[in-house]
Amino acid sequence: MECPMPTHNSNSEEIKRFFEDTKTIAVVGCSPKPEKDSHRVAKYLLEAGFEMLPIYPKEEQILGQSVYRGLKDIEKPVDMVVVFRKPAVVDAVVDACIEKGGVKYLWTQIGIVNNEAAQKAEEAGMKVVQNKCAMVEHKNLV
């Protein structure tokens, strides 16, 4: 299946500012398996100095961090939400971001594009990055 083109996306200059402005990142779909991209990216973000909050339906800890079942379970502010789930799930993630409040940046990883959810996120005041790897962009820009 081919990934659609993102109609809502931020440019490199904006993305650099997003990282500079971010302290806390929730990783939706953060796998406990080291061979998975979500695990590698979450590990990188943690090592880069971000507070990384894994969201996963199982496990108690991933990368030494307490695991949350959903965004609503995180009691502290979250600056950025990075999504490693199918495009159809992004709608629910955006709704959870809106319900939580305070989320500034919605990021969907490579191959994940949901333009309707991205538009809804932007309308709610979030900046959006779609179809890009947070680890690669951070390495290249910061």
Domain boundaries, the chain: 12-141
pTM over 0.85: yes
| Local confidence band at 1 (pLDDT 50, 70, 90 cut-offs) | very low
Q: What average pLDDT does this structure show over 69-88?
A: 96
pLDDT of 4 > 70? The answer is: no
Mean pLDDT on 99-121 = 95
When pLDDT is averaged across residues 105-115 and rounded to a whole number, the result is 95
Give percent above pLDDT 90 in the chain. Answer: 87
Architecture of the domain defined by 12-141: 3-Layer(aba) Sandwich (3.40)
Which residues touch 94 (CB under 8 Å, ≥6 apart)?
A: 106, 117, 118, 120, 121, 124, 126
